[in-house]
Amino acid sequence: MTSASHTKVIAIDAMGGDNAPEVVIRGVSRFKDSGYHFIIFGDKSKVDPYMGLIPSGLSYEFRHTDIAITSEMEVMSALRLGKKSSMGLAIQSVQAGESVAVVSSGNTGLYMALAKIILKTIEGIDRPAIASVLPGKHGSTVCLDLGANAECDVKNLVDFAIMGEALARSIFNKEDVKVSLLNIGSEEVKGGRLVKRTSEILKKLFDNYVGFVEGDDLSKGDVDVIVTDGFTGNVALKTIEGTAKFIASEIKRTINHGILARIGGLIAYPALSSLKRRMDPRLYNGAILVGLNGVVVKSHGNSDEIGFENAIKFTMNILNRDIFNRIRDLIDKSKLHDAIESLGGEVL
Amino acid sequence: MTSASHTKVIAIDAMGGDNAPEVVIRGVSRFKDSGYHFIIFGDKSKVDPYMGLIPSGLSYEFRHTDIAITSEMEVMSALRLGKKSSMGLAIQSVQAGESVAVVSSGNTGLYMALAKIILKTIEGIDRPAIASVLPGKHGSTVCLDLGANAECDVKNLVDFAIMGEALARSIFNKEDVKVSLLNIGSEEVKGGRLVKRTSEILKKLFDNYVGFVEGDDLSKGDVDVIVTDGFTGNVALKTIEGTAKFIASEIKRTINHGILARIGGLIAYPALSSLKRRMDPRLYNGAILVGLNGVVVKSHGNSDEIGFENAIKFTMNILNRDIFNRIRDLIDKSKLHDAIESLGGEVL
């Protein structure tokens, strides 16, 4: 039950998300003999009924708090109570150097707010972003910001590009990653001042900046990083989810309509389920709140145990690479400063 | 070949789009004995090879110009040449009262620019928008702006809501349409100043304003109108297209993988093709440039003849209702003024 020295420790918020704490406990339980140690923060009376599910090979400890953050809370009271909540204590475990990462399914906005207060942003980064890996036809793409910052300026987007490149290099384990900027046309004349100005700077800053991409590029997998503001990114992410659900419901309706379709559907069933598994958003569960001094991973609020398991796997994948030094290297201010100078020294 | 008096006349730009003029001529040819008369504007030497395709029952006339607008043109030279181009002449036919609508597959940005210059915006509307009907699980939704205005202010979004309501009432043929605003969360605290302020005004202005919706609502069909800025709307539209294409390619790959899946796929084929037809973007082809003094319809740049046919059908559907009086009624300035006054009289 206790951590061996040098074992990597992950802090878990047991109380976040729609199906907490059951799916959290079930999700963590899938990591027996993983070489990781888990510190689970939660309300003992609520977690107790599920403690029997934990297998003997799991390395973990439990820490009690009766304070949990809920989506219904006012922001101010959530922040006031926050540090003593299961989410806040889990983040503090990273801040104290006890854990190397934290995973929660709790409210994204409050998670970001607490993580910023407790861990602070990496020096040189103004605002953290939410990043995730999207599946596409020819591969996967790191996309950010997916909703942390509804309103962004040029400096924010440049920061996102820097963090996105570091993330993509780590996650895809290659040096040469293609960075792009989301716009409403690939021509240089398209879009507003924000994307035009950002694009000028990214061109100076990155050798591997490929320019503008459009909404349909989010599902192509031809570039490694797509940068956008948190408003557009969040709408796009939810649009993908909505479109996939709509098509799935149409397929189901079609296959249930008529005897031939039903027979065909039954025969093709194994293949179609493998497709469903491949497209399953739970397999891509795990967004990282990037730009903070620590690995802060968000699992989907209504994820089940498979989803939570994948959020932990995603965390471990990031932990195996050293993304922070990469980000720090990229935000080398002299480089950014040179890029702006060469454009006439205008402010961002 | 000539129009009977009182016949509705539609102006057609034969030279716009990737597959012009062939698909345009083939698309128009599907409307023989439709009761509509078409004035086709194009380059005689390029259109001539396809004139033989036109059936005898089609009421049309052809007008020659050797100037065509291409996407490669500089904006300024396109605008200079524009009025003499097939696109410009077709728009002028509406301005002159000769035609009641114009349809083109040409470059959207130039089409909008020319239409604004020639037809002018409806009094009270600052900027026209691109609107289209999106299919969803429980019905269809009018969405705007889909890309005309990369940067919008509160007044623009309020205008879009007014135009969207008028369009939805016309297209869905009902009075009580639900109007909503796209945001990154349905809670009132989410999003930036632009959407919050717009939402306050829409609440005062419409009895049937239902508040914020999110990206996944674009495919639900639970609301009749979704309002957003042209940047977000364009990204969302292309994200839907990209996601649908990605899923279709995954289905194809799955069904071709393994003998059982292939047999099942073959048996289910008729049902799956009916699904494909139902999801076919060509069937939803046709966006309206709304807010102008005339019905200006855009067909997709790479649409085929079915797509162009549907853009014309979409046009006829709009012509059958009186959307202009509805828009003019809704932009009744005293009403808008009252709404702003009641919020403390601040400027938009």
Same domain, B166 and B74: no
Give the pLDDT score at A127.
Answer: 92
Q: Tell me which chain A residues have a C-beta less than 8 angstroms from the C-beta of B230.
A: 184
Give the pLDDT score at B337.
Answer: 61
Q: Which of A184, A253, A259 to mutate to test the interface with B (most CBs of B within 10 A)?
A: A184
Cβ–Cβ below 8 Å for B215 and A192 = no
Same domain, B157 and B249: yes
AA identity, residue A288: I
Using CA coordinates, name the residue in chain B closest to A192. B150
Cβ–Cβ below 8 Å for B271 and A257 = yes
Please write the tens of the pLDDT for every residue from A11-57: 999 999 999 999 999 999 999 999 999 999 999 999 999 999 999 99
Using CA coordinates, name the residue in chain A closest to B267. A264
Among B74, B93, B119, give the residue marking a domain's end. Answer: B119
Strands, sheet with A209-213, edge to edge from the N-terminal-most edge strand: A60-64, A36-42, A8-13, A101-104, A295-298, A287-290, A129-136, A139-144, A225-227, A179-182, A209-213
Q: Tell me which chain B residues have a C-beta less than 8 angstroms from the C-beta of A150.
A: 184, 190-192
Q: Which of A111, A216, A220, A302 to mutate to test the interface with B (most CBs of B within 10 A)?
A: A216
Flag the least confident range among A172-176, A189-193, A322-326: A322-326
Residue in B151, B239, B250 nearest the CB of A215:
B239
Using CA coordinates, name the residue in chain A closest to B232. A232
Percent of all residues in chain A with a pLDDT value above 90, rounded to a whole number: 58
Residue B246 within any structural domain of the chain: yes
Same domain, A41 and A110: yes
Residue in B192, B219, B279 nearest the CB of A150:
B192
Same domain, B134 and B108: no
Query: What is the DSSP pairing of strand A101-104 with strand A295-298?
Result: parallel
Same domain, B78 and B180: no
Using CA coordinates, name the residue in chain A closest to B109. A190
Give the pLDDT score at A180.
Answer: 98
Q: Tell me which chain B residues have a C-beta less than 8 angstroms from the C-beta of A272.
A: 254, 261
Give the pLDDT score at B76.
Answer: 74
Residue whose structure tokens are 């190397």:
A100
Q: How many CB pairs under 8 A join A and B?
A: 195
Please write the tens of the pLDDT for every residue from A98-157: 999 999 999 888 899 999 999 999 988 889 999 999 989 899 999 999 999 999 999 999
Query: In degrees rounded to 5, what are phi and psi of residue A226?
Result: -120, 120
Give the pLDDT score at B119.
Answer: 95
Residue in B192, B235, B249 nearest the CB of A137:
B249
Question: Hey, which bits of chain B come out as E strands?
Answer: 8-13, 36-42, 60-64, 101-104, 129-136, 139-144, 179-182, 209-213, 225-227, 287-290, 295-298
Please write the tens of the pLDDT for every residue from A228-278: 999 999 999 999 989 888 888 887 777 777 777 777 777 766 666 666 666
Using CA coordinates, name the residue in chain B closest to A221. B246
Same domain, B100 and B148: no
Cα dihedral B156, B162, B164, B170 sign: negative
The CATH number for B88's domain is: 3.40.718.10
Residue B317 within any structural domain of the chain: no
Q: C-alpha distances in angstroms, B27 versus A155, B37, B52?
A: 48, 14, 14
Largest CA distance in chain A: 69
Same domain, B56 and B103: yes
Residue in A215, A238, A246 nearest the CB of B214:
A238
Query: What is the DSSP pairing of strand A129-136 with strand B287-290?
Result: unpaired
How far apart are the CA of B10 and the nearest CA of chain A, in angstroms? 29
Q: Which whole number is the average pLDDT over A154-164?
A: 94
Residue in B147, B184, B268 nearest the CB of A255:
B268
Ranges in chain B, pLDDT < 70: 1-6, 71, 186-189, 268-284, 332-348
Residue B331 within any structural domain of the chain: yes
Among A119, A150, A183, give the residue marking a domain's end. Answer: A119
Query: In degrees rounded to 5, what are phi and psi of residue A60?
Result: -155, 165
How far apart are the CA of B64 and the nearest CA of chain A, in angstroms? 31
Give the pLDDT score at B1.
Answer: 45
Q: Which whole number is the average pLDDT over A320-342?
A: 69
From the list B104, B92, B98, the residue with the least C-alpha distance to B27 is B104
Is the pLDDT at A178 greater than 70? The verdict is yes
Give the pLDDT score at B146.
Answer: 93
Give the pLDDT score at B144.
Answer: 96
**Residue A339: band (very low, low, confident or very high) from pLDDT cuts 50, 70, 90:** low
The parent domain of residue B339 ranges over 124-284+322-348
Same domain, A94 and A181: no
Is the pLDDT at A96 greater than 60? The verdict is yes
How far apart are the CA of A191 and the nearest CA of chain B, in angstroms? 5
Among A99, A119, A139, give the residue marking a domain's end. Answer: A119
Helix (H) or strand (E) holding A44: helix A44-51
Percent of all residues in chain A with a pLDDT value above 70, rounded to a whole number: 87
CA distance A156 to A163: 10
Q: Tell me which chain A residues have a C-beta less than 8 angstroms from the C-beta of B270.
A: 258, 260-261
Quick one: residue A221, left, alpha or beta (phi over 0 = left, psi -120 to 50 = alpha)?
left
Residue in B219, B232, B271 nearest the CB of A243:
B219
**Residue A329: band (very low, low, confident or very high) from pLDDT cuts 50, 70, 90:** confident
How far apart are the CA of A341 and the nearest CA of chain B, in angstroms? 27
Q: Which of A196, A197, A246, A253 to mutate to test the interface with B (most CBs of B within 10 A)?
A: A246
From the list B21, B29, B24, B22, the residue with the least C-alpha distance to B68 is B21
Mean per-residue pLDDT of chain A: 87
Cβ–Cβ below 8 Å for B267 and A261 = yes
Residue A298 within any structural domain of the chain: no
Q: Which whole number is the average pLDDT over A164-178?
A: 90
Q: Tell me which chain A residues have a C-beta less than 8 angstroms from the C-beta of B279.
A: 247, 250
Q: Tell me which chain A residues have a C-beta less than 8 angstroms from the C-beta of B231.
A: 184, 191-192, 232
Same domain, A166 and A40: no
CA distance B156 to B144: 11
Same domain, B140 and B218: yes
Same domain, B71 and B115: yes
Q: Which of A235, A237, A300 to mutate to test the interface with B (most CBs of B within 10 A)?
A: A235
Q: Tell me which chain B residues have a C-beta less than 8 angstroms from the C-beta of A136.
A: 246
Give the pLDDT score at B3.
Answer: 46
Residue B334 within any structural domain of the chain: yes
Cβ–Cβ below 8 Å for A236 and B236 = yes
Residue A291 within any structural domain of the chain: no
Q: Tell me which chain B residues have a C-beta less than 8 angstroms from the C-beta of A247.
A: 243-244, 247, 279
How far apart are the CA of A231 and the nearest CA of chain B, in angstroms? 6
Residue A314 within any structural domain of the chain: no
Residue A296 within any structural domain of the chain: no
Cβ–Cβ below 8 Å for A268 and B275 = no
- State how many domains chain A has: 2
Give the pLDDT score at A130.
Answer: 94
Q: Where are the alpha helices (DSSP H) in B173-255?
A: 193-205, 230-255
Cα dihedral A269, A274, A275, A279 sign: positive
Cβ–Cβ below 8 Å for B243 and A243 = yes
Cβ–Cβ below 8 Å for B184 and A136 = no
Q: Which of A151, A153, A190, A238 to mutate to test the interface with B (most CBs of B within 10 A)?
A: A238
Same domain, B239 and B343: yes
* pTM recorded for the entire structure: 0.88
Using CA coordinates, name the residue in chain A closest to B258. A271
Top-confidence residue, B322 or A345: B322
Please write the tens of the pLDDT for every residue from B178-221: 999 999 976 666 788 899 999 999 998 889 999 999 999 999 99
Q: C-alpha distances in angstroms, A336 versus A172, A181, A206, B92, B124?
A: 25, 17, 10, 50, 45
- Is the predicted ipTM greater than 0.95, yes or no? no
